[in-house]
Amino acid sequence: MNGNNVWRDIIFYESPVIGVKKIMIIGREAEVKILDTICRTSRSEFVAVYGRRRIGKTFLIRKYFSKKNDCLYFEASGIKDGNTKKQLEFFSSALSSCFYNKIPIKIPATWEEAFLLLTDEIEKIKKRKVVVFFDELPWMCTRRSRLIQTLDYYWNNKWVKINNLKIIVCGSAASWMLNNLINAKGGLYNRLTRVLSLKPFDLRTTKQFLTAHKCKFNNKQVADIYMVTGGIPFYLDQISPALSVVQNISTLCFEENGLLLDEFPRLFKSLFANATISLNIVKIIASKRYGISREELLKKLKVKTGGWINDKIEEVEAAGFIVGFIPYGKKKDIYYRVIDEYTLFYLKWIAPDIKKGHGFSKSHWYNLVKNPSYASWLGMAFENLCLKHQEQIMAALKLQNIDCRVSSWRSVGVEKDGAQIDLLFDRGDDAVTICEIKYVSSSEKFKIDKSYAKNLENKIEIFKTVTLTKKQIYLAMITSFGIAHNLYSEDLIQNEVVLDDLYRCV
């Protein structure tokens, strides 16, 4: 197991032309193309890279530019909870390593002095591109440090005129990056030349990543790993090819030194200034399987609507833990649901026993996977997995060229017993495709019997009655291994999507 913060090297090289190396990083093809473009331009660039912690921001930038001989690469990183003096100490150390052959230099007293030193060295370099990477910029911007104001001044008055200079800033605190840089209304307004938002891997890329690390898992096994770790590269990097899926999860999540045993509280403390409020928001939303309305969320938080709570909710959403959506038939009622797999897994299986002060036996997870409650949880986790792979499902349903609004729908206690639809496509061709999602942990096909068929018919009837839709209704089944064809399936199901379809390249 690789328990430290140094990833195994997943860079590969192709040589389509003799003597020319092309950098390829797993899962970041679009981002690499943007970096290629940045390197080719003959003007200065100011690039912001953001995404949640452990997503691979630093890895991407560092590995890409460290292999490029035509670039001088300078990296300075912020220190969590370090004061301005400490930030400047680390900055001067980086300057010394890059420009002064590690000879100690006088530590600048302010960011103005620090950037003056940096600018003097940059201006000496004429024949190479200069890449300046500020990693974890939010940590560097301590209170009253005036770093943002100084960055604004030097970009607008100095660096923008240096055509071979590429400034890249990065941060895990997505909301900070959005408010202070990307959507800034002050001096840095509209100054960025490019923005890279790193997202978790999808299933296809997750399998590529694991395969590159000698993990020989099939699609179902990869999905089982994904429903615990999500597509977070650093978590996936901890998966051992020598262990089964169950063994890997047990090691990561339930052993004393397992990375994911206590990663959750650390994650929130590193991302949010007030981690308690952010964590409470996530816990409340996670307690509702089908999502929670904004009105109910505020009620449970015991707050009235206002700027500060809006900011907190937006911070959690920007960090990738929750997503806001408007259910089918609603015009502006916002609902939220948790979409981060590790969060859902931690709150369900790890947090309750930790709260009780219980330790985990070596057989803890092996016993849990045999429990019916685990099978039930897998069904919910698979629903979430499908919601995150909507484009692949649309491609499998041949809807990629049709204008569709993706949504969900729920009716409680209205007209009979109510109904829940987790995923539907409101199509521009006067039709609605309703998706019924069922996960089967074995390799067997899902069988629709008389009772289940009646439930499906009832769900469609309630949907038509409550929504008053005149559109044609199609019913699609999304299952792990398909459905067993019988009279009920032939009569009810128009389309099938299986787990393998979620691995499509779209």
212 in the same domain as 119: no
The model carries a pTM of 0.89
Last-in-domain residue among 197, 215, 238? 197
- Pairwise CA distance, residues 332 & 276, whole Å: 28
**Structure confidence by residue, pLDDT tens digits, 292-347:** 999 999 999 998 877 789 889 998 998 899 999 999 988 888 999 999 999 999 99
Last-in-domain residue among 380, 403, 433? 380
- Pairwise CA distance, residues 254 & 364, whole Å: 8
Cα dihedral 314, 317, 322, 327 sign: positive
454 in the same domain as 328: no
Q: What is the mean pLDDT of residues 230-250?
A: 96
> Would residue 5 count as lying in a domain?
no
**Structure confidence by residue, pLDDT tens digits, 29-63:** 999 999 999 999 999 999 999 988 899 999 999 99
Question: If you write DSSP's letter for every residue of 422-487 in order, what string do you get?
Answer: EEEEEETTTEEEEEEEE--SSSSPEE--HHHHHHHHHHHHHHHHHH---SEEEEEEEESS-EE-SH
> Would residue 145 count as lying in a domain?
yes
> Would residue 335 count as lying in a domain?
yes
Structure token digits, residue 311: 């900011």
**Structure confidence by residue, pLDDT tens digits, 220-232:** 999 999 999 999 9
SS3 292: strand
Please report, for the domain that includes residue 408, its CATH number.
3.40.1350.10
249 in the same domain as 179: no
Domain span including residue 321: 202-380
Please report, for the domain that includes residue 83, its CATH number.
3.40.50.300
> Would residue 4 count as lying in a domain?
no
Burial of 232 (0-12, 13-18, 19+ CB in 10 A): buried
Minimal CA–CA distance to 396: which of 492, 483, 506, 501? Answer: 501
- Pairwise CA distance, residues 106 & 384, whole Å: 53
> Would residue 223 count as lying in a domain?
yes
**Structure confidence by residue, pLDDT tens digits, 347-374:** 999 998 876 656 688 899 999 999 999 9
> Would residue 3 count as lying in a domain?
no
CA 26 to chain centre: 16
Last-in-domain residue among 330, 359, 380? 380
> Would residue 1 count as lying in a domain?
no
**Unique residue bearing structure tokens 């990629």:** 400
50 in the same domain as 68: yes
The secondary structure of residue 263, as a DSSP letter, is H
CA quadruple 435, 438, 442, 445: dihedral, nearest 10:
-50
Q: Identify the pLDDT of residue 400.
A: 92
Higher pLDDT, 229 or 290: 229
Question: Total structural domains in the chain?
Answer: 3
**Structure confidence by residue, pLDDT tens digits, 3-24:** 333 344 343 333 333 333 455 5
192 in the same domain as 49: yes
**Structure confidence by residue, pLDDT tens digits, 90-141:** 999 999 999 999 999 999 999 999 999 999 999 999 989 999 999 999 999 9
